[in-house]
Amino acid sequence: TADDRQRFEAYLAKKLSLIDVPNNRSESVTTIKRHFFHLLLAASWIMTLAACSKDDDPIVAYRQDLAEIATDHNGRVASLILDNADTLAVTNKEAITQTLVPDTAYRVRAVFLKEAQGAEVVSLQTVFCMAPLAEKPAEMKADAITAEAIWRSGRYLNLLVSFKTSGAEKHKIMFVEDGITTEANGAKMLHIKLTHDRRNDGRTYTTRSYISCLLSGYNDILMPQRDSVSIAVPTGNGFSIRHFAY
C-alpha cells in the first residue's frame, strides 16, 4: 500500500545515512547514496508488483469493435453482428439497461468478451450511421473536420473524426453520393462526400466521434475486387480524398 511504501522509503533513508564512502568528496557520497536509494526503491517496487500478480490469473480478452446489434420484440439486445458477418448471441442481455426500439438494428461501438456461447457485452455506444444520400441537398456545408482514421470493414466505410466544439450546438454531418464514374476497363468508382455543418458552434475543445457510411445499397451496382469507393472529407482548405476497394 501507499503507507507501506512510505514507511519503507523512510527506513531506507535512515539506513543510507549510516553509509560512508572513504576518500570521496561529500558531493560524491551524496550522489552514490541517492543512486543506491533509487536502486533499492526500484527493487522494492518490482518485488511488490511480483507479489501482487498471480501466474494463474489470465488477462481477460475484451474486444472493442464497431459492430451492429439487433434487438428482440422487447427491445432487449439479442445479438451482436460483427463486420465479418459473425453473429453472436448476447449472453447478458438482462444486464443491458439502454432503452432501445424493438426489432431494430443499431450501429454501435461495443466492448465485449467473446465466449463459446456468444458474447458478454460490457458497454455499448451508438455510432452515427447512414447510407449516402442519393440526391444532393440544396446546401452542402463543408466546415473543417479531421479524419484521424478511415477504414473499410464489412458493409461499412468507417471514420474516426475530430472537430472543435463548445458543446452548445449539435453539428450536422451527412454522407452524400457525388456520382459514380466508369473507367475504360469497366471498373467503377463510387464518390462520396462528407458534409459538416458547425451551426456557428464555438471552438472551446476538441471532440472525437466514430461515424459509419453504409455501402450495402450499392451491391447491385458495384463489384468487389473490381470497383472502388472514394470519400472526400472537408479540411477547411478544400477536400482530402481517400480511396478504398469496394
The cell for 200 is 456557428
Taking only the tens place, the pLDDT of each residue in 214-238 is 999 999 999 999 999 999 999 999 9
The sign one gets for the Cα dihedral 102, 121, 213, 221 is negative
Q: What is the mean pLDDT of residues 143-171?
A: 96
The pLDDT of residue 49: 42
CB 183 within 8 A of CB 226: no
**Residues 124, 65: contact at Cβ < 8 Å?**
no
Q: Which three cell numbers stand for residue 174?
A: 451527412
Selected residue with higher pLDDT from 132 and 7 = 132
Distances in Å between the alpha carbon of 92 and those of 71, 135, 230? 13, 42, 39
Task: Tell me the average pLDDT across 62-79.
Answer: 95
pLDDT tens digits, residue range 166-197?
Answer: 999 999 999 999 999 999 999 999 999 999 99
Kindly provide the residue ranges of all beta strands, DSSP E only, lying in 47-141, ordered along the sequence: 62-71, 77-81, 87-89, 105-114, 119-126, 128-130
Residue 61 predicted with pLDDT over 90: no
Question: Minimum mean pLDDT among 20-34, 47-61, 127-141: which range?
Answer: 20-34
- Cα 76 from Cα 126, distance rounded (Å): 15
Average pLDDT, the chain: 85
pLDDT at 143: 97
Tally: H helices and E strands in the chain: 2, 13
Q: Are 203 and 169 in contact (CB under 8 A)?
A: no
Task: Note the pLDDT of residue 196.
Answer: 97
Helix (H, G, I), strand (E, B) or coil at 97: coil
> Is the CB of residue 132 less than 8 Å from the CB of residue 176?
yes
Asked if residue 230 lies in contact with residue 209, where contact means CB atoms within 8 angstroms, the answer is no
Q: What is the reported pLDDT for 8?
A: 54
- What is the DSSP track for 190-235? EEEEEEEE-TT---SEEEEEEEEEE-GGGTTT--TTT-EEEEEEE-
Query: What number of residues does the chain have?
Result: 246
155 confidence band (pLDDT: 50, 70, 90): very high
